[in-house]
Amino acid sequence: MKNLLSTKEVAQFLDVNEKMVYSLIAEKGLPATKVTGKWLFPKHLVEQWIENSTQNFPSQASPLPPYHGLLIVAGSDDPLLERTMNLFNKTYPKHLAVYGNVGSFGGLKALRHNLCHMASSHLIEESGQDFNFQFASEELHEPPAVINFCFREQGLIMAKGNPCKISSVADLGRKDMRVVNRPLTTGTRLLFDRELLKADVSTETMVGYGHEVHRHLDVGLEILAGRADVGPAIRAVAGILDLDFLPLGRERFDLLISRERFFDKGVQLFLGLLHEPVFQRMAGELQGYDLAQSGRTAFPKEDNGNGG
């Protein structure tokens, strides 16, 4: 696979010596895989690791002001989240919820820079056993409050009837496949790249791998229009557009909130909606959602490896 770097190549890419590369793997989580006894490094994951490891950001000249009715949410997009924000605006007309679709990584960065009240995120950790905590600890100065919004199903969306006969991620390595993708800042892209790597599917010559759209719904629309055969998205979109869906896993979709803003009135009003019957009804109109933990605090996993 041409998009895999050798130890020597990744050392040159990072401008360090090869011995330092091994330390970065062990101590800093540099993305790597071992094949036939040799370390190999997916270039796109190395680039993502560099971006996520950035620490010295310019200070913000205008931090988020005290809450005066404007609730700002930034991060990963979700149809149920969008409907809940509309419900908030209808229920509380003296408040206004606005949303920035910047992906899970972008949401954490916005939270770090005090640009939003809540960040929506579903970043799968390296172990594959938990979500968000590892990335929050790397990105934020102090641990945020983590409230579960929902659990949902991630997977691959295909045209109705699955005309391309896609039964696994490995099928995406076929030359006739046309893919639509999500940006690097999204949790969906993180999961998709992990699954492609596990299936040993090269992205170097994959048609459409570089074609990125910003919403789950946009993935479905590209497939519905016949411009792509398959793409990563959540089951809810397949249900909305009447498309086929191949599940890849169940994920926890959380709201991360800085501790100093947790008790802002708008934040508490929004979290309160997660316990209302109308929220349950909205989720019931969509596919692939589990609200059993919605509105509850998601505690970080213990050192013994038991997930939360």
Letter for the amino acid at 159? A
Single out the residue of 196, 47, 128, 14 nearest to residue 22, CA to CA. Answer: 14
- Please name which of 307, 48, 50, 306 lies closest in space to residue 197, comparing C-alpha atoms: 48
In this structure, what are the phi and psi dihedrals at residue 61, rounded to the nearest 5 degrees?
Answer: -75, -35
3-state secondary structure of 197: helix
Give the span between the Cα atoms of 242 and 259, in whole angstroms. Answer: 40
Q: Domain 70-151+252-290 is in which class? A: alpha beta
Q: Is 211 left (phi over 0), alpha (psi -120 to 50) or beta?
A: beta
What is the residue extent of each domain of the chain? 4-51, 70-151+252-290, 154-250
Distance CA 283, CA 191 (A): 23
N-term to C-term CA, the chain: 36
CA distance 123 to 216: 15
Identical fold, 70-151+252-290 and 154-250 = yes
Tokens of 205: 């010559």
Q: In whole angstroms, what is the distance from residue 111 CA to residue 262 CA?
A: 12
CATH superfamily of 154-250: Periplasmic binding protein-like II (3.40.190.10)
Q: How confident is the prediction along the chain (308 residues), in pLDDT tens digits per residue?
A: 457 888 888 888 888 888 788 778 776 778 888 766 678 888 888 887 776 665 554 444 457 889 999 999 999 999 999 999 999 999 999 999 999 999 999 999 999 999 999 999 999 988 888 999 989 988 888 899 999 999 999 999 999 999 999 999 999 999 999 999 999 999 999 999 999 999 999 998 899 999 999 999 999 999 999 999 999 999 999 999 999 999 999 999 999 999 899 999 999 999 999 999 999 999 999 999 999 999 999 864 444 443 33
Asked if residues 173 and 142 have their Cβ atoms less than 8 Å apart, the reply is no
Secondary structure (3-state) at 98: strand
**Which of these, 256, 252, 212, 217, lies nearest to 107 by C-alpha position?**
256
